[in-house]
Structure 1
Amino acid sequence: MTDRLPGFNTLAIHAGAAPDKSTGARATPIYQTASFVFDDVDHAASLFGLQAFGNIYSRITNPTNAVLEERIAALEGGTAAVAVASGHAAEFLTMNALMQPGDEFIAADKLYGGSINQFNHAYRNFGWNVVWAKTDDPSSFERAITPRTKAIFCESIANPGGVITDIAALSAIAKRHNIPLVVDNTMATPYLIRPFEHGADIVVHSATKFLGGHGNSIGGLVVDGGTFNWAGDNRYPALSQPRPEYAGMVLSENFGNFAFAIAIRVLGLRDLGPALAPFNAFLILNGIETLPLRMQRHCDNALAIATHLSGHAAVDWVSYPGLESDPYHALARRYAPLGSGAVFTVGLKGGYAAGVKLVSNLQLFSHLANIGDTRSLVIHPASTTHRQLTDPQKISAGAGPEVVRLSIGLEDPADLIEDLDAALSA
């Protein structure tokens, strides 16, 4: 092939993968092993000292996982990636590399409820403090910056409401203050939005969702954009200061534009251990091969369903940026011209009680706590995913009492509309 970068569809199938050299297997094998044999003592020493790349123990690296890492790095346009046990693990290891006790990070207020809970409560055990800013008001992020601020965090498309974040505006603020911008790209996937192209420095994923796409495996990914200069920045000692466990090595000096990914691997996975099982990596890899086809069908179906519900007598409002009437439609056209994703919310006129009844009456939609499946899914966030939040926090996150979240699958849209109409009128 020429030096031209392959297209997205080709990368989704081929990036990181090749026929197995020893067996000729075309599909990526599942290397279901805990550890790997060294060539000799010197080889082992070089691996443990980070003088050579290779496999030591599947908690740190695994050949199946490595294909997944190379593939998502290629699709996102990053320099390197690390596969981990879940989306929460991806967020946790990212903050572990950036934060020290007493530090702060600024987070957009429109986020997945599990992330809000993690930031508000679990992170306090490590002395990491979240400061909330208004997703719709980029200036609120700048006003929240202090000398202890170590990162800005947002979702490209916010869960549950499908809100589009102005990544470029947040990036401009982050760059003015020399702070890395971390973007959770789970809802969009790189098929719809590539955050690095809009100024992000780090991308995280719950690969459980649209990347895997079939609701059969848990996984997470951290992607290094290679855009942030860690060298000499004493605010980030994990990357800029000598590491005593590696004979004084400075990761930013040794590994350059993929130093952050190395830090996630050798300071995070090595010591904290949320490793991705190779079998899960295999399943997610197979899902990514059809990502472009699935995401386009997800988006087309979602637009059809959102359009129908926006005119339904039992529905007060629909939050989906694909609708021309939606306040985020202009941002959707700018950032996600191929589609606005598959997840959106509706507000029911009957409030909390109507939301509970709807999820109970649907037949084709599955009532469960997930998104990004081939099957259509439904949940009432106020009573489930956002239950731990206060009422003001629920409303701020787009999960008020009347809200129902839909994750539109790949079924025939006419069948989904029939199921919704029957449940709404029951």
Structure 2
Amino acid sequence: VSAKTIYGGSYNLLAHTLPRYGITATFVDGDDPSNFEKAIRENTKALFVETIGNPNATLLDIRKIADIAHAHKIPLVVDNTFATPFLCRPFEYGADIVVHSASKFIGGHGTAIGGVIIDSGAFDWDASGKFPSLTEPNESYHGVSFTKAAGKAAWITMARAVLLRDIGATLAPFHAFLFLQGLETLSLRVERHNYNTLQIVPFLANHPKVKIVRHPSLAESPYHDLYTKYFPRGAASIFTFDVKGGEKEAKKFIDNLKLFSLLANVADVKSLVIHPASTTHSQLNSEELKQQGIGEATIRLSIGTEHVEDLLEDLAQALEAI
């Protein structure tokens, strides 16, 4: 069971690709944690959420959702890419497995592709009774039971020993080096991302050519209380807003930006902009786009680490060009 407000690539994996392999997903509105419980069936194996939803910076109550997962003896998997471990540590709120696209803030410069999986070691796979691949003998490894052989590290051991072997999702050594380099400046970069964002959000919210800004720092945001609870350092330097008009006005704004780069990547030290409906989320149909809150006038910004006055000036002149 997954929140529906997730990255378009993750949505397509769960909605279209994995069903061909016998794995299906139910998508729910994560604003109400009880929706997850209502969707759980006897064969449900996990709940999946993002700490900060892509692209609209939606938030959800991680602790409540974790409690629901554990009441049904299944793990909570959290994509913490947009929050980073500097801003939020989902294990502290009950998450069992955390994943990151390391290509984003961890690398920080848009130069490498990779991902990270972290197992908390806290989930009791034996007591769950839903994971025979972990508890029963694995014939490809001489009949080993991963829970007996690896204990708390059973799941991540199986991921390395079996899934990595069979699927081949192996990180390139040089990319691993770049990610390690990026980690050294993660906190400094994220602090600057957040500082710039908190200057830009009110500027956009008060601009006459902007229809709506979706950012949880705004008092009127439905996610403001969750923002103050889970992100005391601030967060969500990747967010969306709608200009007044439609696709024509949105793309004219983008075309007139000078500092912001038109790229599908996010979480770069460079400020980035894109039109989600025609790019990152273009494989979604009109109903799916509507469910995820993406319209023709929606623009996604990824605020970088440049001087904030330069960014504000660039946004102002591009809005005036509409």
- Where on the TM-score scale, by shorter chain, does this alignment land: which range? over 0.9
Q: Is the 8 A contact 1:208 1:215 kept in 2?
A: yes
Instruction: Report the counterpart of residue 139 of structure 1 in structure 2.
Output: 34
1:413 matched residue in structure 2: 308
Per the alignment, residue 44 of structure 2 pairs with 149
1:202 and 1:224 in contact (8 A); partners too: yes
Letter in 2 for 1:341: A
- 1:239-254 aligned at under 5 Å gives the runs 239-254=134-149
Q: TM-score, normalised by structure 1?
A: 0.74
Q: Given residue 161 of structure 1, which amino acid in structure 2 is its aligned partner?
A: N
**Contact preservation (8 Å) 1:321, 1:328:** yes
What are the ranges of 5 or more consecutive residues in structure 1 without an aligned counterpart?
1-105
> Is 1:365 matched with 2:260?
yes
CA deviations on 1:326-385 (whole Å, 9 max, x unpaired) are 221110110011012211110111122222222222110000111110000001100111
Match of 2:69 in 1: 174
CA–CA separation in structure 2 for the residues paired with 1:272 and 1:113? 22
1:116 aligns with 2:11: yes
Does residue 162 of structure 2 align to residue 267 of structure 1? yes
* 2:207 pairs with one of 312, 321, 333: 312
Q: How many matched pairs?
A: 321
In structure 1, C-alpha distance between the alignment counterparts of 2:113 and 2:102, rounded to whole Å: 7
Q: Distance in 1 between matches of 2:101 and 2:297?
A: 26
Say which is worse superposed, 276-285 or 357-366, in terms of deviation.
357-366
Gaps of 5+ in 2: none
What SS does the corresponding residue of 1:129 show, helix, strand or coil? coil
Choose which of 224, 231, 234 in structure 2 pairs with 1:329: 224
Give the percent of matched residue pairs that are identical in Structure 1 and Structure 2.
48
Q: Which amino acid aligns with 2:221?
A: D
Q: Match of 1:64?
A: none
- Cα offsets for 1:101-135 (capped at 9, x unmatched): xxxxx010110111111111111121110101111
- State the SS of the aligned residue for 1:221: strand
The 2-side partners of 1:139 and 1:397 are apart by: 19
* Structure 2 residue 90 is matched with structure 1 residue 195: yes
Distance (whole Å) between structure 2 residues aligned to residue 275 and residue 239 of structure 1: 22
* Residues 54-69 of structure 1 aligned to structure 2 (within 5 Å): none
TM-score normalised by L of structure 2: 0.97
**Contact map agreement 1:240 1:250 (CA 8 A) in 2:** yes
Q: Which runs of 4+ in 1 moved over 6 A?
A: none
Among 218, 222, 234, the alignment partner of 2:113 is 218
Q: Which moved more, 1:346-355 or 1:277-286?
A: 346-355
* Alignment correspondent of 1:387: 282
In the alignment, the residues of structure 2 paired with residue 149 and residue 400 of structure 1 have an alpha-carbon distance, to the nearest angstrom, of: 32
Letter in structure 2 aligned against 1:164: L
User: Whole-Å Cα distance in 2 between the matches of residues 186 and 374 of structure 1?
Assistant: 15
Give yes or no for the alignment of 1:227 onto 2:122.
Answer: yes
Q: Does structure 1 retain, via aligned residues, the 8 Å contact 2:31–2:59?
A: no
CA RMSD in angstroms comes to 1.0
Q: For structure 1, which segment, 207-216 or 393-402, has the greater mean C-alpha deviation from structure 2 after superposition? A: 393-402
Q: Distance in 2 between matches of 1:347 and 1:310?
A: 10
State how 1:24-39 maps to structure 2 within 5 Å.
none
